[in-house]
Amino acid sequence: MKSGVSLGYYLKKEHSEMGRFFIFLLPLILFISQSVLAGGDQDISGRDKIAPEISEYYRNHNFINSFSLRTERNLLAHYIPHKRLPDQLIMNKRLARIYQLMKKQYAKLLRVDEGIMNQKVLPSGYCNRSELIEIADIYRDDTNIAVKVLAYYLDYKTNMMFISKYNEYSGDKDKVPPEEECLAMVRSSNFSIQEIHKWTLFEGRWLKREVEIRLLKEREKR
């Protein structure tokens, strides 16, 4: 099976499956809408309630975005189909680590068949968006999990500060800013976007759909 799981036959059931998906999501969307109208915050400690590989996906997402620039991720993404970085990039240990994590993320995406849909082979969520993600809530059944997240904008200055710290400590995991610290710094930004991500259990693996539902309501800075 290809990295990223190319599922040509899966398209035949896509129409009816999408209908079931929105029925599945309706209670969560109503719950989110009621919360927004009430002006209340949601419990953002839901990571322990979901499968470890899903939790790892969001942890890796935040690591990748914290310690690399959008332009760097765009460059690295083009090498994922080739399975190997050029030597000059391999010599940069930070980028080599980011690249390996991006490949892991790519393998967790449930992709529409690239030959049919003429999709670009780029991992979604990294190349053109500078943000950190925090899990806000989850809704699940036996084979689907909908994850509501808050996506916080990561500005260039803060991003460079994180990278500088990473380089200063040579990527030592005990010294570089931990995920919680990075999130705390971006949480005070002007707004966060609410999104719903769908995960599907396929052949014993939890895979994330590339298409994300982005809610129009933004949390204003308090």
Would you say the pTM of this structure is higher than 0.95? no
Per residue in 129-188, pLDDT (tens digit) is: 899 999 999 988 888 999 999 999 999 999 999 999 999 999 998 999 999 999 999 988
Please answer whether residues 97 and 64 qualify as being in contact, where contact means their C-beta atoms are separated by less than 8 angstroms. Answer: no
pLDDT at position 190 is 61
Q: What is the 3-state secondary structure (H, E, C) of 165-217?
A: HHHHCCCCCCCCCCHHHHHHHHCCCCEEEEEEEEEEEECCEEEEECCCEEEEE
Rounded Cα–Cα distance for residues 181 and 168 (Å): 17
Residue bearing tokens 């380089």 = 167
Helix axes 156-168, 179-186, angle to 10 degrees: 160
Please answer whether residues 10 and 210 qualify as being in contact, where contact means their C-beta atoms are separated by less than 8 angstroms. Answer: no
Rounded Cα–Cα distance for residues 75 and 85 (Å): 10
How far are the Cα atoms of 89, 136, 148 from residue 133, in angstroms, in the given order? 27, 9, 10
